[in-house]
Structure 1
Amino acid sequence: MTATSSIEKNQTFVAQRKVNSEKSLSSTNSQHKQTEADSITKDGDDKEEYKISLVDKWQLWLSSLFILSTFLLDRLPLLTPYTSKFLYLQYRYEDHLTETVYGIGVDDFYFVFSGVIIMTFIRSFTMLYVLRPITRALNINSHKAVQRFLEQGWYLVYYSSSFFFGLYIYYNSSYFLSLDNIWIGWPYNKMTSITKTYYLMELACWVHQLFILNIEAKRKDYVQMFTHHIITISLVGGSYFHFYTRIGNVILVIMDFVDIFLSLAKVLKYCGFQFICDLMFLNFLISWIVLRCGLFNYIWYHTAFKARDLIRETECLATLGVQPCWTSKVFEIFLVLLGALQVLMIIWLFLIIKVAYKVIAGYGAEDVRSDDED
């Protein structure tokens, strides 16, 4: 019995060692596979970051080349009539004695094209040499977080600059806090250099944003954003060439102010300041409801039902062949586009409210557009 028991114990011990050995081998293989997976993921992130960084650098180099070469070519007398359209405002009224004012025409598209290139340069330079060092200083190491920080940091810079530029024009205008004065005395086909530069650069910026939308990582609301950009470009461009720049200025200021809070909240999120991020998000929600769903709708109502009566004394008839003129078809298209923009605002409001619920519930604010890629 003793010998048999000893043999059984030895067999049990051997079997146990075999099981332990298999477990250890399995654990080692699992760790090895995980290490390989992590390595592959890291390599993938590094490659993706390299690709994006390379794209930004190419944008910087090419835009710099265009800007520099255009300025140099403009010094050649034979080319000046062509290159000057890319560099300077067109349609200046030489006989205007009190101040320098400009008209509107098709040659303004050259300036818009240059504006797109300039925005490409400023964006790439800001992301590579201003925002990227900040991510290193804040120890933001995740490729995804770094890229989102760069994107939202740029939007924060852009919307802040656009808002204060537009606010300066609005504050010093005759229509400041007066919707009636937006239309009284229409058409406004002459504008100062600062107003014309502002409006053409706004158009250039939105064309540039449409380009950026298609080179950034796709978001779940790509279709909505693409639609939004097309509508905005149509509104900014259409309002410029049909002399509705005053109402355009007011709406752009409203939109830019709200976007500042959104971009700031996202930047704070990627920096790890969740509590301040939540506060900024709540400010964003309040400003969205008050300005984009409240004031914006009132402006639409005022435009739809009061604008025609306010401009009746100064309008002309298109049938007389005089420009600029009031055309009901253009005005109706303008209202439809503003209405379509409001539909998008309401759709996004529902998404924002969902995020707001998470903030109140203690989960913290997340990217309203979702950082997940399709």
Structure 2
Amino acid sequence: MANYYRSIMDTVWSEHIWLPPNTTWKDLDPDTHSNIRHADYRHLFFPLPMSIFMLLLRYLLEKYWFAPVGISLGIKNCRPKKAPDNSVLENAFTLSKRWKHKQIQGLAKQLDISERQVERWLRLRKGQNKPSTLIKFSENSWRCLYYMFSFTYGIMILWDKPWLWDINECWTGFPHQNVTNDIWWYYMVSMTFYWSLCISQFFDVKRKDFWQMFIHHIATIVLMCLSWIVNVFRVGTLVLLVHDCADIFLEAAKMAKYSGYQKVCDAIFALFTVLWIVTRLGIFPFWIIRNTSIDAPKIVPMFPAYYIFNGLLILLLVLHCFWTYLILKIVHNSLNAGQMEGDIRSSTDDYSQDSKSE
């Protein structure tokens, strides 16, 4: 059994797949070179326990900082009214949350109540588990704080790195590139955050694009892990930097909306839209993916893992295009309504209706 497992692992992690020609895993061993600190694959386990600590930190900040700030801004922590107990309606709701008129008629007749009462029960039942505006404000505050920290830290540590100014430097000396302490922390904290998102997504505010976001988080983690193992971390740092920039303003726009500052929300959202298009549909494909697809093969010999990395980058680009469609849809509706309507990438199913009543 052990030999069978070893054979599978040797095939999956074949040097011919993951490493450039004439390179072995021994060459990338952190202890092989005294003057080069290679990325250590064993360190990829650190973000897992660190993510639990990050979730605890988030809980403390939301409860003792973000929530009090939200209350001071006039945000009420009002829970939706609970639907009356009714086993018949509850069973029907468990089977389907969308009732047709015939089903409503049948339930009304069965319970000897009016159709309006059934519809009201359904409306209350759908809304009773939705988080309050204060909870949503606290969630957005946490993500806004993280993206501000991550982007600021990324700029600080990459400012003196040659590959920030000349992306071809990502391949100079590859794969024997030194991992400095600041790059190590940038990677570890970023992976910790995405692992925490994978966990918290199941109990956070329910989103329309739940599975798209989940795929995004998993693709990001896989991409970061593989780039760390194969020492392609320089490109990884640029991807992180590009992704964090616009998200700061997305979360800030939501915070302004929940706080009732609609004009501030509109201004920040407009800035976010411009930054999103520039970074996600401009810099990301035409600077990073172009380099990994066209320039890199001219500098370093290609190997099969190259196509895996590029495939994951393109998967992220496809998700960006999907979210850009949603963003432009919101922009179109906002121009017609005179203010931002809806909530990009983190909407509850009935957000537009909720925001009008809050």
Q: Structure 1 length normalisation: TM-score?
A: 0.67
Other-structure match for 2:315: 340
Q: Does 1:300 find its partner at 2:289?
A: yes
Other-structure match for 2:124: none
Q: Mind listing any 5+ residue stretches in structure 2 that lack a counterpart?
A: 1-28, 80-131, 351-358
**DSSP 3-state at the match of 1:187:** coil
Q: Does 1:367 find its partner at 2:355?
A: no
Q: Does 1:350 find its partner at 2:339?
A: no
Task: Give the letter for the 1:162 counterpart.
Answer: S
Q: What is the CA-CA distance between 1:102 and the residue it aligns to?
A: 3.8
Asked whether the 8 Å contact 2:41–2:228 carries over to 1, the reply is: no
Change (3 A) 1:218 1:308: same
Asked whether the 8 Å contact 1:352–1:368 carries over to 2, the reply is: yes
Q: What is the CA-CA distance between 1:348 and the residue it aligns to?
A: 0.7
Q: What is the CA-CA distance between 1:188 and the residue it aligns to?
A: 4.1
Asked whether the 8 Å contact 2:38–2:176 carries over to 1, the reply is: no
Task: Give the letter for the 1:273 counterpart.
Answer: Y
Task: Give the letter for the 1:361 counterpart.
Answer: N
Q: What is the CA-CA distance between 1:340 and the residue it aligns to?
A: 0.8
- Structure 1, 249-258 or 188-197: larger mean CA deviation: 188-197
Bigger RCO (CA 8 Å, 6+ sep)? 2
Q: Which has the larger radius of gyration?
A: 1
* Cα separation, 1, equivalents of 2:33 and 2:49: 24
* Cα separation, 2, equivalents of 1:338 and 1:348: 15
* Cα separation, 2, equivalents of 1:131 and 1:92: 44
* Cα separation, 1, equivalents of 2:338 and 2:155: 35
Match for residue 124 of structure 1 among 29, 40, 59: 59
Q: Mind listing any 5+ residue stretches in structure 1 that lack a counterpart?
A: 1-89, 313-325
Change (3 A) 1:270 1:260: same
Q: Does 1:224 find its partner at 2:199?
A: no
Change (3 A) 1:237 1:219: same
Other-structure match for 2:305: 330
* Cα separation, 2, equivalents of 1:265 and 1:186: 41
Other-structure match for 1:283: 271
Residues 324-358 of structure 1 show CA distances to partners (whole Å, capped at 9, x for unaligned) of xx6x2211010011111111101111110011112
Residues 254-277 of structure 1 show CA distances to partners (whole Å, capped at 9, x for unaligned) of 110010110010011101111110
**DSSP 3-state at the match of 1:175:** helix
Other-structure match for 1:107: 42
* Cα separation, 2, equivalents of 1:92 and 1:268: 50
Q: Structure 2 length normalisation: TM-score?
A: 0.70
* Cα separation, 1, equivalents of 2:256 and 2:344: 14
Identity of aligned residues (%): 30
Asked whether the 8 Å contact 2:227–2:233 carries over to 1, the reply is: yes
* Cα separation, 1, equivalents of 2:205 and 2:335: 29
Q: What is the total number of aligned residue pairs between the two structures? A: 267
Q: Does 1:136 find its partner at 2:71?
A: yes
Change (3 A) 1:170 1:362: same
The two structures, once aligned, show a CA RMSD in angstroms of 2.0
